[in-house]
Structure 1
Amino acid sequence: MREPLIFDGHNDVLLRLHQQDISPGKDGFQGSGGKQIDLDKARTGGFAGGFFAIYIPGEAALSDSHDEMMAKNYDLPLPPQVEWGDAIKVALSQASILFNLEREGALNVCRCTQDIKNAMAEGKMAAVMHMEGAEAIDPDFHTLEVLYQAGLRSLGPVWSRPTIFGHGVPFRFPSTPDTGEGLTSDGIRLINKCNDLGIMVDLSHLNEAGFWDVAKHSTKPLVATHSNAHPLSMHSRNLTDRQLHAIRESEGMVGLNFAVAFLRSDGRMDEDTPITTMLDHLDYLIAQLGEERVGLGSDFDGAAVPNEIKTIAGLPNLRTAMADRGYDAALIRKLCHENWLRVLDLTWM
């Protein structure tokens, strides 16, 4: 099943290209040389595009954390906060990679839902510029204004380490998302500014206190682009029933994270995870949120995903699993892309 097309809530291909210092050309994106995302795999998998994250990794990354996350419990140390002067250089580098891909005809940078629909109709990959962690945003919001004009339409105030705007959740299992303080006063100002501009606020890495701060101050739907259900996997990154109900009441949505550590009940970074585990989370999210408020948020090029999928070329296996679970064609369309278009219409208007 290569249809319906999938519009996805999160990927890290810009970080991969930036870190490997690879040209966006055939070795890195426009052939079959990518890790989990490239154009050839997209055609095979029916991948229409999604949120392309700008992420600042800092001096110490979590890329070597696989062994620790195979333990029965873990609490990984986070990299330190990145100063603005360093962060803005990396952010602009990744934004430049995105615009070079557009210039070379590999994708379209989309600034409204009609842009996404047009790209999908034309067979072009649709890319929404997203920022995961706002270290590159100054407290006067000059950078935010410029990046918005360039195409930024989605932003997470934090990744997991703290910033001047708030506090994220650590990579901790087992744990609730209630891990500390929430937004700062600058963070509340950032939420208000994003609302004014029409930038979607992403809750996926905020801790629970920060989540409720956004719920209190934001006038837009609550959205977690790549998160899962805490009752099924007791990881700090996942959402409690109370959080899910707040998202439902705001007409927001959640994108299912494919990262195995956030899917499994044991929290292990084990790619030998059956695709049915993903369906269990989808079932739960649909039961809590309704059919119109659930989508996909893979974390491709930034996470270990189930072996039955591996890359975007494996997405037909997910569609088949949905059908085998009894999801009808209308529900599969909603999960694959219609629900993202619905919530973006509400957020960007």
Structure 2
Amino acid sequence: MSDLVPIFDGHNDFLLRLLHDRAARETTWLTQTGEGQLDLPRMKAGGFAGGFFAVYIPSPKAHDAPDLQSLLREPPFALPLPEPVPYEHALPIAMEMVGHLLWMERSGHLSICRTVADIRAAMAAGRIAAILHMEGAEAIGPDLDALHVWHAMGLRSLGPVWSRPTAFGHGVPFAFPSTPDTGDGLTPAGKDLVRACNQLGIMIDLSHLNEKGFNDVAALSDAPLIATHSNAHALCRSSRNLTDRQLAMIRDSDGMVGLNYALSFLREDGAAQPFSGFDPMLRHLDHLIEMLGEDRVGLGSDFDGAEIPPDLGDASGLPRLIDAMRAHGYDAALIAKLAHENWLAALGRVWKE
């Protein structure tokens, strides 16, 4: 629909859904099955114009592993970090997930984008504009040779960790109440990774990285600091949310934060429990805008990776979020910035376009 506000999104886990449902990937991508939160029809219905498509390696399921979602519903909680995933295990899974993204491109409805100009061209043509992103660098060895291979394949964004250790650094555990100050900083290989990403023009994502690792990236990187899907710790004391000090550092670097839609990162009590309306999302947006300025805040849904507010539901519900922004007093110019313009401008700064 022509009156939809185009939305460029900071994070989704749709490729993980395809990994778990290989045999039905055509149906999962091209038809509205009612499963998950993303597919092409619902993207089109909601104005979802593109975003970061994450390559994420699931932790091997142990028989005694806790049920994450059930634990998140009953704060307080402090889950131990999962064990590291070896490079040899991660690499074929990552390759399969990128294969799914390349297949989506061949379907004619999506373009893998390497520049802001690519993103604008895809959006103008009505194709989903996808950035190849890694959430956790397990599929890259400490020698970084694979980083150059992935870059040649189109990788333009990378988070050194998910919420577990890698060869490069330490993720934050799922914990509430907790600060992000939960462990050591970047390893020597992690510092090399930051420098190499700067040289190659790969965006470094700070979501999931602990506070000492965040500080190390800030000290080393010559690029703006970006957190693709994180919220305000001042409003929800989750280890995954960013403190005002971190937000100020992102602001001073001319960086960017994308609002995460996960219930447990939005609610003041940290519980992954449904709520009516959009007030917690708007409160976090207000705080992020206050701390960062209206040019450095966007959306980072975590679609297909999190439980989200039921009144949003899935990608087709994005116009309801936009309507809530209008009712909250955001004007058309600010909504356009939050929906897509700020992400494209921030990527231009990171990629030096």
TM tier, smaller: over 0.9
Secondary structure in structure 1 of the residue aligned to 2:320: helix
Q: 2:324 aligns with which of 313, 321, 325?
A: 321
Q: CA, structure 1 residues 255+123, in 2 after alignment: closer, same or farther (shift >3 Å)?
A: same
1:32: which partner in 2? Answer: 32
Q: Does residue 94 of structure 1 match 2:68? A: no
2:69: which partner in 1? Answer: 66
**Residue 90 of structure 1: CA displacement?**
0.5
Q: Distance in 1 between matches of 2:110 and 2:240?
A: 30
Report Cα offsets for 1:161-189 as digits up to 9, x if no partner: 01110001000000000001010010000
**Residue 253 of structure 1: CA displacement?**
0.6
2:161: which partner in 1? Answer: 158
**Residue 70 of structure 1: CA displacement?**
1.5
Query: When the two structures are superposed, what TM-score results if normalisation uses the length of structure 1?
Result: 0.97
1:115: which partner in 2? Answer: 118
Q: Distance in 2 between matches of 1:273 and 1:174?
A: 23
Report Cα offsets for 1:88-136 as digits up to 9, x if no partner: 0110000000001101112100000000000111110000000000010
1:130: which partner in 2? Answer: 133
Report Cα offsets for 1:12-71 as digits up to 9, x if no partner: 00011102224431x111111252111110111010010000000120388932221121
Q: 1:265 aligns with which of 268, 284, 296?
A: 268
Q: Does residue 191 of structure 1 match 2:228? A: no
The alignment's C-alpha RMSD in Å is 1.3
Is contact 2:5-2:319 (8 Å) kept? no
2:4: which partner in 1? Answer: 3
Q: 2:297 aligns with which of 287, 294, 297?
A: 294
1:281: which partner in 2? Answer: 284
Q: Distance in 2 between matches of 1:40 and 1:105?
A: 14
Is contact 2:81-2:165 (8 Å) kept? no
Amino acid at match of 2:178: S
| Unaligned segments of structure 2, at least 5 residues | none
Q: CA, structure 1 residues 156+21, in 2 after alignment: closer, same or farther (shift >3 Å)?
A: same
Q: Distance in 2 between matches of 1:282 and 1:111?
A: 28
Query: When the two structures are superposed, what TM-score results if normalisation uses the length of structure 2?
Result: 0.96
Secondary structure in structure 1 of the residue aligned to 2:84: coil
Secondary structure in structure 2 of the residue aligned to 1:162: coil
| Unaligned segments of structure 1, at least 5 residues | none
Q: Distance in 1 between matches of 2:284 and 2:202?
A: 27
Secondary structure in structure 2 of the residue aligned to 1:291: coil
How many residues of Structure 1 are paired with residues of Structure 2 in the alignment?
348
